[in-house]
Structure formats: structure tokens, C-alpha cells
A = this chain, B = another copy of it.
């Protein structure tokens, strides 16, 4: 294999980011629907994708001891169940950007149907786990995302 296949990547359209997810066996439980905690995993994948699209290398920053994001707050409403093999879109908007944290609204959609809505606060932490200002370049990158298409 010469070329490397690329896993799905989301896109930033104005002030929102869209990221595709498929529901696999690992995501379901015996009730036949996606296990509730997994929505948080999907949303985290989308947020990591945003950072990557904005040119932020989380792994390099983490390895250099600069810190990392940790979720400090989440308000989640599950409205309809996602099912095995569903194709979902995670839509993310950044609603507030502070020096050491960002607030986002993430929606889990199946086509135009809203399955879940999550308001999340991601706090930037030092390697030792203390709140810390986000690197200035990161804040600036986020700022372009938040400001592009204000509502």
C-alpha cells in the first residue's frame, strides 16, 4: 500500500463544524440502541477534528508538556436513539471563548433529525492538571471559528 487512506474528516462551514460518524456494534447495547455514554465519545472526536482543521497539533502540544483539554461540564439531552449502522453528523458550534476554556454546543443529527444536544465546556489544563490559559495561537484559531458566522 503506497498511499495512506484517510479517515473521515469534518468540515468547517462558517461558524459550524460538521463531522460524520457511523454507529458500529461497539456503540450499541442490548437495548438495540447506541449506549448513552458513547455520544460523548463522538463529540470528542468532532472536537479533536476541529483542532486538527484549525492547524492545532494536540499530540505535539501534549508531548511538549503544554497541556490538554479536559471536559469540565456537559449538559446532554438525548431525544431519539441512534441505531446500529446509522450515519450521524456531529454539528459543533463554539458559543463562548474564554482564556482557559471554550463552550460549545454539539448536536447529534441523523439527516435533519436531532438525536441529541450537548452543551459542553472544555477547560485547558497544564500537564499537572491545573487550569491554564489556552496557547495564544489556539485561542486565535478558535476565534476565527467562533466569529466567522455570528448568529
Contact = CB atoms under 8 A, between A and B. Distances in A.
A15 interface: no
A22 interface: yes
A33 interface: yes
Contacts of A77: 72-73
Given A7-B20, A18-B5, A81-B70, A29 B26 contact: yes
Contact of A4 (B35, B73, B89): B89
Interface residues of A, number: 60
A40 interface: yes
A78 B71 contact: yes
B26 A41 contact: yes
A140 B39 CA distance: 32
